[in-house]
Structure formats: structure tokens, C-alpha cells
């Protein structure tokens, strides 16, 4: 069994996480930074990270768990993991995007898509995501008319 | 929220990182706002914007793309249309993502009904006739599903006049007003019920069709909201079977708005980008569309100068019905409808391209059934159409089958 090396990653708010290297490099960003700084030694590499502590922790958590659980349990675990409110989901989204963690990004995007699909109409989408209607009055009216075609 | 978190967020404000809410307390307020689903009546300030309204475009594209890919059938596909109605940025991105029926085989926005179908396999619909109200409804789907939940595409109402019959075609089943935004076009028969003309409320993209102006309207000033013209886009003629027996009648369909080149190798059919009554509806230009002309090019349309067909590829496409074979044992005329038509009827037909050798159309393309129509039950008919026809054109052609008089039967 290979000795897994640990990377120490420091987040912007100065919290330090120790993660297995194999997990840390699931983030494309960390992978690139690590190779750029020191091509040989991965152990105890210190990298300055930008995101908030909470995002970082959750990103790590996800990646870690992802590697441990078998497939059947994974989807259950994933649905629970993503059962967060819109604020947290957004933070996860930004963290996954910044750190370039593809699996996490896929999970969040899917979750957001599921939210959209569950919305019964446009107004519910706006309320769920807190988005303002910025159409001009005339365009808004035309869209409303066109959308009446979509009601079955 | 803890002091530490508030300090952190203030620090991040300074660094200008991310799209988080500026005050810890604010985030809580927004959270409770969404949960109670009450939209407060407050002036919009930057600080009150949800982080979701400033998503990086590439992330929003990814989200909406996934929704579009997974919701291909109606009624679930309404989610895609909702995305296009949320706000301006969402609308732009959704319209970038949604492809034409020719490219993806799916119907999404109303304009999809005016765009050519896919090339390799048909879009399958059915028509329900209501004799009591003289209404014909076109639905998306193989056959009527239980529960009446099918997507209505177009509706037509038969209006008998002194010397002709009109089928008024609309987006809505309860509104056939000429001036309504739902008006799409019409199909008019001659007195004998042997010749039918299809009119579109918007001019085809390539202005190469004969323009017929109805006497009540003028072509020069066309308000974007009120289609003032009907543009003849095709005509259908029925001929008696020569032997005057109960043999199948012959159909001929000339499509003024579609050139023969559309079915030649590398050819394309006109693909409108927006409905005229919604001038703000312009989709992003498609690489496949031939003429990216402005939606309402009224300056080029005048009754005196109607550009006729240019030689070669400008010639209009003509369709003819596939000749059925006589089945000796069954003692009837037969066409292979591939299971989509199950009741014998003189109304049933298949249309293929009518081409001459000089048109250079491959044998495979000549064999393709571009439009198929036939009965499957009392007042239920299937309609399968594909490139280069659009749903609107196909529907209008099929309606002629309902109105042919004894003169050609």
C-alpha cells in the first residue's frame, strides 16, 4: 500500500486543512499550483487558498467521501450533501468553480437544474434564486403572451 | 452569525472577492424572504441582490444546458421556456442553447413551428378533429395520450365563405382572430375544392415568393404587432384519378418559400428566426440559415416588383403524393405508412419530392417521405413531417385533405 502523502492547504481565513494528496489534486487548481511550486516534493506543501473556510471544508469533505463510499451509497450521500439552502449551494458552486473540482461542479449544477425543473412557473424560479425581472415592460408583455402558448 | 464571519466578509468586501452578500445580516434576510415567497416592495439596491443574479455566464450556460438536454419532451420542456423568461441574461443564454428542430429534432419556442423539421427522421404529431366546432387541433406526440396532457402546437378553424373556405391557423385553440398575436396564417380553398393556397402571416426569409396582398391590407406599412399581409407560401392541387374510378387522387404541392436547392446536397431551407408579431423575439443568427435578413424587410416588398424565381436553385420545391400500389389479395390501394396510419381513407397520403433529373437530387432524397398524413381513429389523424417542411406548412397541407370536395374524389 502506498503511503499517501498529505498536503497542507491553507485557506484565506488561515485555517489549515490536511488532505490526502490524491484528494487534493482532484482540484485542478491545486494540482496546477502544486506542480508549479515544486515538482518533486508534494509533502506538506503550503498553498495559499482564497475561498472561505466553509467552502473549502465542504469541498474537501465531498472529495474525501467521494473516494470512500461505494456507488449505491454514493447517490444517497450526494443527495443529502446537496440538501442545503440556496446560499450554501451558491458558495459550493463558487468554490467548485474556483478550485476546478469537476465532480463537485457537476453535482451542484445538477442540483441547480433540478431546482429549476421543479419550478412551476417563471415567478417561482425568480423567487427561488432571488433574481429580479429586468425586462422592459413591452418585452415582458410579449414574453407573457408567448408563454401562454406553453400552457397545456 | 458570529463576529468572526462578519469580519471575514467585511475583509472580503475589501478584496472584492466573490459574489457573497455584503452583510451577514442581509444574507439572513434574503433567506427568509425566499422561504416565505413574499416579494417585498422595496427599491432595488445592489446590496439586496441575490448572489444567483450575478452568476458567471459560463456557469449559467452549464446549468441551463443541462436542463435543456434532460427535458426533451413536453410538458417537461416548458422548463426551458421558463428559463428564457426569467431575466435578460437567462434569456440570452437559453436562446443560444436551444437549437432548431432541424438540428435537434425538438420543438421548444413557438418559432419552432415555422422552422424546418429534422432531416433524417420525422417529427410525429397527431390531429384531432372536432366536427361540432369545425376545429382541428395539432398535438405533439405519436398518438393521443391518456389524460389529455399532450402539447398543443397549432389550431385551425374552418370558416365557410361564399366562394371559398378558409382554415384560419392559430397558436391558440380559443383565438382565431385575424388581428390576434396568435394568428399564424391560413389556408384557403377555391370554390371547387380542388386548389388550396397556404398563406403565412410573415414573409419568408428569402424574399423570392409571389406576394399577394389582400385587398383589406397594404404591404408598405407593416406594424410589427399586426401582420398586415398574407404571404402566399404554397399551393396544393388535387386531380381526379384519370380513370374516374375509386382510385387515389393525385396531389401536387408547390412550395413557393422553399427552393429545390433545399433538398440538393448541401442545401438549406429558409429558417425564420422570430415571429413578426414579437419583434423583440430575435434569436441569435443560425449558421445554417440562408438569408440573415432583417425580420421585416418591408422596403424590399412592393406589389409592383415581386421577385420571381431565379433560375437554378431558385425554383420552388414541388411535392407529389407517392403512388400507392394495388394489392390484389386485399383488393385495395396500399402505402407503407410504417404503422402510423391504421384506417383506410381517401384522405391518407404521403408526399415526396417531385424532381426532374436536372435537379440533381439523390435517389435516397427523392424517396424520403417528407409529409405523411392518415387516419388512426374516429376524428384522429397522424401527421409526420420532416425537412424541409415546417410544422405550420405541414399542418396547412394536411388541412386541405379535410376539405376536398366530391369533384376530386
Residues in chain A with CB shorter than 8 Å from the CB of B151 are: 152
Q: Is A97 on the interface with B (CB under 8 A)?
A: yes
The pLDDT tens digits along chain B (409 residues) read: 454 544 454 445 444 444 433 333 333 333 433 343 444 444 444 446 788 888 889 999 999 999 999 998 888 898 999 999 999 999 999 999 999 999 999 999 999 999 999 999 999 999 999 999 999 999 999 989 887 778 999 999 999 988 899 999 999 888 898 888 888 999 999 888 889 999 998 887 653 333 343 333 333 333 444 445 788 999 999 887 665 556 677 899 999 999 999 998 888 999 988 887 665 554 444 444 344 333 333 333 333 333 333 334 478 999 999 988 888 888 888 888 988 999 888 888 999 999 888 888 888 888 899 999 999 999 999 999 999 999 999 999 999 998 866 554 4
Q: Does ipTM exceed 0.85?
A: no
- Rg of chain B over all Cα atoms, to the nearest angstrom: 26
Q: Is B171 on the interface with A (CB under 8 A)?
A: yes
Are A145 and B181 within 8 A, CB to CB? Answer: yes
Instruction: Select from B68, B74, B174 the least CA-distant residue to B124.
Output: B74
Residues 245-304 of B with CB under 8 A from A: 278, 280-281
> In this structure, what DSSP letter does residue A18 have?
E
C-alpha cell at A17: 486543512
CA–CA separation, B172 vs B153, rounded Å?
8
Q: What is the DSSP string of A108-145?
A: HHHHHHHHHHH-SSHHHHHHHHT------HHHHHHHHH
Are A127 and B63 within 8 A, CB to CB? Answer: no
Are A113 and B33 within 8 A, CB to CB? Answer: no
What would you measure as the largest C-alpha separation in chain B, in angstroms?
95
Neighbour-count burial for B372-389, b at 16+ CB within 10 Å, e otherwise: bbbbbeeeebbbbbbbbb
Which of B51, B66, B110 faces A109 most closely, judged by CB atoms? B66
Are A121 and B82 within 8 A, CB to CB? Answer: yes
Q: Is A94 on the interface with B (CB under 8 A)?
A: yes
Element (H, E) at B257: strand B250-259
CB B387 within 8 A of CB B102: yes
Which of A93, A131, A152 faces B87 most closely, judged by CB atoms? A131
The residue written with cell numbers 403512388 in the block is: B323
Long-range contacts of A141-144 (CB under 8 A, 24+ apart): A142/B278, A142/B280, A142/B281, A143/B84, A143/B85, A143/B91, A144/B85
Q: How far away is chain A from the Cα of B170, in angstroms, using its nearest Cα?
A: 10
Total length of chain A: 152
Question: Which chain A residue has its CA at the smallest distance from B113's CA?
Answer: A149
pTM of the model as a whole:
0.75
Q: Which of B5, B63, B68, B106 to mutate to test the interface with A (most CBs of A within 10 A)?
A: B63
CB B111 within 8 A of CB B281: yes
Which of B17, B44, B79 faces A117 most closely, judged by CB atoms? B79
Question: How many cross-chain Cβ pairs, A to B, lie less than 8 Å apart?
Answer: 125
Q: How far away is chain A from the Cα of B177, in angstroms, using its nearest Cα?
A: 15
Q: Is A86 on the interface with B (CB under 8 A)?
A: yes
CB A129 within 8 A of CB A86: yes
Are A149 and B150 within 8 A, CB to CB? Answer: no
CA–CA separation, B42 vs B50, rounded Å?
14
C-alpha cell at A50: 482564497
Residues in chain A with CB shorter than 8 Å from the CB of B67 are: 113, 116-117
Q: Is A84 on the interface with B (CB under 8 A)?
A: no
Amino acid at each position: 500500500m502506498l503511503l499517501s502523502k498529505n498536503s497542507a492547504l491553507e485557506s484565506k481565513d488561515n485555517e489549515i486543512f490536511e488532505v490526502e494528496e490524491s484528494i487534493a489534486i482532484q482540484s485542478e487548481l491545486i494540482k496546477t499550483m502544486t506542480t508549479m511550486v515544486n515538482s518533486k516534493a508534494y509533502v506538506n506543501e503550503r498553498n495559499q487558498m482564497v475561498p472561505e473556510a466553509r467552502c473549502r471544508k465542504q469541498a474537501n469533505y465531498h472529495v474525501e467521501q467521494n473516494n470512500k463510499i461505494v456507488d449505491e451509497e454514493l447517490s444517497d450521500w450526494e443527495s443529502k450533501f446537496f440538501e442545503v439552502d440556496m446560499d450554501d449551494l451558491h458558495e459550493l458552486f463558487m468554490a467548485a468553480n474556483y478550485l476546478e473540482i469537476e465532480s463537485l461542479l457537476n453535482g451542484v449544477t445538477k442540483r441547480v437544474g433540478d431546482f429549476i425543473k421543479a419550478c412551476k412557473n417563471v415567478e417561482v424560479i425568480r423567487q427561488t434564486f432571488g433574481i429580479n425581472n429586468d425586462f422592459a415592460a413591452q418585452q415582458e408583455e410579449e414574453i407573457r403572451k408567448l408563454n401562454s402558448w406553453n400552457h397545456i | 452569525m458570529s463576529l468572526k464571519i462578519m469580519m471575514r466578509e467585511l475583509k472580503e468586501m475589501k478584496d472584492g472577492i466573490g459574489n457573497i452578500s455584503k452583510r451577514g445580516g442581509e444574507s439572513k434576510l434574503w433567506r427568509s424572504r425566499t422561504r416565505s415567497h413574499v416579494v417585498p416592495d422595496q427599491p432595488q439596491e445592489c446590496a439586496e441582490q441575490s448572489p444567483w443574479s450575478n452568476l458567471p455566464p459560463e456557469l449559467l450556460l452549464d446549468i441551463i444546458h443541462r436542463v435543456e438536454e434532460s427535458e426533451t419532451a413536453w410538458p417537461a420542456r416548458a422548463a426551458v421556456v421558463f428559463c428564457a423568461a426569467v431575466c435578460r441574461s437567462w434569456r440570452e443564454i437559453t436562446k443560444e442553447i436551444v437549437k432548431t428542430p432541424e438540428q435537434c429534432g425538438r420543438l421548444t419556442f413557438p418559432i419552432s413551428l415555422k422552422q424546418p423539421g429534422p432531416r433524417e427522421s420525422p417529427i410525429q404529431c397527431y390531429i384531432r378533429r372536432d366536427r361540432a366546432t369545425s376545429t382541428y387541433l395539432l398535438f405533439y406526440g405519436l398518438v393521443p395520450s391518456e389524460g389529455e396532457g399532450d402539447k398543443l402546437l397549432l389550431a385551425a378553424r374552418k370558416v365557410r365563405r361564399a366562394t371559398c373556405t378558409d382554415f384560419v391557423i392559430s397558436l391558440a385553440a380559443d383565438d382565431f382572430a385575424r388581428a390576434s398575436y396568435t394568428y399564424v396564417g391560413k389556408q384557403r380553398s377555391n370554390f371547387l375544392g380542388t386548389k388550396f393556397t397556404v398563406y403565412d402571416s410573415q414573409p419568408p426569409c428569402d424574399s423570392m415568393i409571389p406576394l399577394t396582398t389582400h385587398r383589406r391590407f397594404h404591404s408598405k406599412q407593416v406594424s410589427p404587432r399586426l401582420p398586415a399581409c398574407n404571404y402566399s407560401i404554397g399551393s396544393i392541387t388535387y386531380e381526379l384519378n384519370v380513370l374516374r374510378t375509386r382510385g387515389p387522387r393525385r396531389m401536387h404541392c408547390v412550395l413557393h418559400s422553399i427552393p429545390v436547392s433545399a433538398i440538393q446536397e448541401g442545401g438549406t431551407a429558409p429558417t425564420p428566426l422570430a415571429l413578426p408579431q414579437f419583434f423583440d423575439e430575435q434569436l441569435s443568427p443560425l449558421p445554417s440559415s440562408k438569408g440573415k435578413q432583417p425580420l421585416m424587410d418591408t422596403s424590399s416588398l412592393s406589389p409592383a416588383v415581386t421577385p420571381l424565381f431565379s433560375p437554378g436553385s431558385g425554383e420552388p420545391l414541388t411535392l407529389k403524393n407517392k403512388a400507392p400500389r394495388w394489392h390484389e389479395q386485399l383488393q385495395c390501394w396500399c402505402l407503407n405508412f410504417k404503422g402510423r396510419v391504421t384506417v383506410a381513407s381517401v384522405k391518407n397520403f404521403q408526399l415526396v419530392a417531385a424532381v426532374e433529373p436536372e435537379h440533381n437530387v439523390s435517389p435516397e432524397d427523392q424517396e424520403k417521405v417528407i409529409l405523411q398524413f392518415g387516419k388512426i381513429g374516429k376524428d384522429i389523424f397522424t401527421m409526420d413531417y420532416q425537412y424541409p417542411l415546417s410544422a405550420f406548412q405541414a399542418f396547412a397541407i394536411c388541412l386541405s385533405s379535410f376539405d376536398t370536395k366530391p369533384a376530386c374524389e
